[in-house]
Amino acid sequence: MLGLAKRLKAKILQASTSEVYGNPTVQVQSESYLGNVNPIGPRACYDEGKRCAETLFFDYHRQHGLKIKVARIFNTYGPHMHPNDGRVVSNFVLQALRGEPITVYGDGSQTRSFCYVDDMVDSLIRFMKSPDDFTGPVNLGNPEEITILELAERILKLTGSRSEIIFKPPPADDPERRQPDITLSKEKLGWTPKVSLEEGLLKTITYFDDLLNTGYEQNNFGYERTHR
């Protein structure tokens, strides 16, 4: 893709990730933080893959003058997430709506910062329209930090579910904290997220509730409606 962008003289954006920070040793992660990643752990293929891609983007920018944008995206959620994508919001919402146990890995004290999809799309459009000399990397996410246990409890409340919360062993190298410093995005893009977590969760819950109630079945391409 970088070679294609170079040949066509096109601007190219990398959807990087907060995972480049690994399991951070600082409370709030700014773009200057170099990260704490285990390069040989079970998560490394994703973490290091994104870090390697950032390296290639900046190599092409320095060597060929390629117009690049590198966005470090923090947890994004909202309607139209795939039911089986394994993300914590979709997992918790579906478990709650089905009356299944809410599965929390570890003790639930690990934190994440969740950004509603509309806010994320707005930030990416602003980033692509920003001056070419602003390459990033730039953190894009909601700075509101919440523990995974608090997220589960909030989803139970919003869905009215009686599901119980169960705890399982944490996965290896699971980050303990995720909270973006979005000072740069405020300064350069004039962007801050507008949709509150409760508002975004309600919209997401409504989507998945409709999905479950209107008849969908899984196929090789995702989910399709089986009846109206």
Q: Which residues are catalytic?
A: 46
- Whether the upstream peptide bond of residue 137 has omega within 30° of 0, thus cis, is yes
Task: Name the residue type at position 211.
Answer: L
Tokens of 27: 């409370």
- Assess contact for 137 and 54: CB atoms under 8 A: yes
- Assess contact for 182 and 139: CB atoms under 8 A: yes
In degrees, rounded to 5, the angle at the alpha carbon of residue 83 between the alpha carbons of residues 78 and 84 is: 125
- Assess contact for 88 and 147: CB atoms under 8 A: no
Residues pairing with 167 in the sheet: 104
DSSP 34-46: --B--TTSTTHHH
Tokens of 129: 């329209």
